[in-house]
Amino acid sequence: MKSIIDGRRYNTEAPQTVCVANNGRGCGGDFSAYHEGLYRTGKGNWFLCGTGGPMTKYAVHDGNMTSGSSKIIPISKDEAREWLELWDETDVLEEYFFDSIEDA
């Protein structure tokens, strides 16, 4: 998938796929199901690319209708770290954010 957002080109084929996740709801008609991947570009920028139903952040509205879609969402480094923490991706966090992790 490709997209240009705020003058920056995002392409899921070019950058490094860091991690993928889904909410475990499947795809067969569950309006709250989604699947997304966290990506990091060669320049160190982070983004999500996902697909979801009409009750997810990937919903699109057209008049009285809401449907699912796919899109790219640029995020900050801090948002990428929070996303990885949400999905409990400890190994990936230690790989990319080793400088901001400390022992409790």
Q: What is the pTM of this model?
A: 0.84
Query: What pLDDT digit, counting tens, does each position of 34-87 carry?
Result: 999 999 998 999 999 999 989 998 999 999 999 999 999 999 999 999 999 999
Backbone angles phi, psi at 86, to 5 degrees: -60, -40
Residue 36: what pLDDT?
94
Q: Give CA angle at 92 (86, 97), nearest 5°.
A: 90
DSSP 8-class letter at 103: -
d(CA 21, CA 68): 17
Q: Which two tokens stand for residue 95?
A: 């790989």
- The length of the chain in residues reads 104
Query: What pLDDT digit, counting tens, does each position of 11-28 carry?
Result: 888 768 899 988 877 656
Using 50, 70 and 90 to split pLDDT, how confident is the model at 29? confident
Interacting residues of 85 by C-beta distance below 8 A, sequence separation 6+ = 93
75 burial type by CB count under 10 A (0-12 exposed, 13-18 middle, 19+ buried): middle
Query: Taking Cα atoms as reference points, which of 50, 42, 35 lies closest to residue 3?
Result: 50
